[in-house]
Amino acid sequence: MKAIQDLYAAEYAHCFGCGPRNAGGHHLKSYVDGDRTIAHFTAEACYSGGVPNQLYGGMIASLLDCHGTASAAAFLNQQRGRTPELGLPRCVTASLRIDFKRPAPLETQLTITGALQSIDRRKVWVALHLHAGEQLCATGEMLAIELQEPAQS
């Protein structure tokens, strides 16, 4: 199965967190998994927060950010009855609220999931969870917005 990010058009595939065409990026890969989305990521030791073996919060935000917009694009596609191969809507983050519940460990596989909360035209609300094993480390609530097509001249 292809990752959602691998279906982004080439000109929109440069995101630092998940763009396949960003050689220096993190290349997060998100997948549709039934009625939710899922991604896995293992952070190297250099992404430490101030406390030993604690992942930097900005990296947690990055993971939720990229997984959330990919999820929003997939959920919009599903609502419209389109298959991803026909192209994905271009969704960006308008707002992202994060609760840091427990420290997330370094060099350990993390699991990020997304669930659709609601869709109102171009606006998609996604609930996000980040786990290390059974431990819930962070939750997020995202509003992603589909970009409008540029006006034709």
Ligand X SMILES: CCCCCCCCCCCCCCCC(=O)SCCNC(=O)CCNC(=O)[C@H](O)C(C)(C)COP(=O)(O)OP(=O)(O)OC[C@H]1O[C@@H](n2cnc3c(N)ncnc32)[C@H](O)[C@@H]1OP(=O)(O)O
Q: Contact positions toward ligand X, by CB under 6 A?
A: 8, 12, 15, 17-18, 65-66, 69, 90, 92-95, 123, 143, 145, 147-148
User: Least distance (Å) from ligand X to the CB of residue 42?
Assistant: 20
Q: CB–CB of 145/123 below 8 Å? A: yes
Q: In angstroms, what is the C-alpha Rg of the chain?
A: 15
* Nearest to ligand X of 66, 137 (CB atom): 66
* Nearest to ligand X of 103, 124 (CB atom): 124
Give dist(CA 2, CA 140) in Å, integer: 25
User: Least distance (Å) from ligand X to the CB of residue 9?
Assistant: 8
Give dist(CA 95, CA 142) in Å, integer: 6
User: Least distance (Å) from ligand X to the CB of residue 68?
Assistant: 7
In DSSP terms, which residues pair with 135 in a beta bridge? Answer: 132
User: Least distance (Å) from ligand X to the CB of residue 150?
Assistant: 8
* Nearest to ligand X of 19, 103 (CB atom): 19
Burial class (CB in 10 A: 0-12, 13-18, 19+), 61: middle
* Nearest to ligand X of 12, 108 (CB atom): 12
* Nearest to ligand X of 83, 148 (CB atom): 148
User: Least distance (Å) from ligand X to the CB of residue 36?
Assistant: 18
- Give the Å distances, CA to CA, from 126 to 14, 17, 84, 103, 114: 22, 18, 18, 22, 6
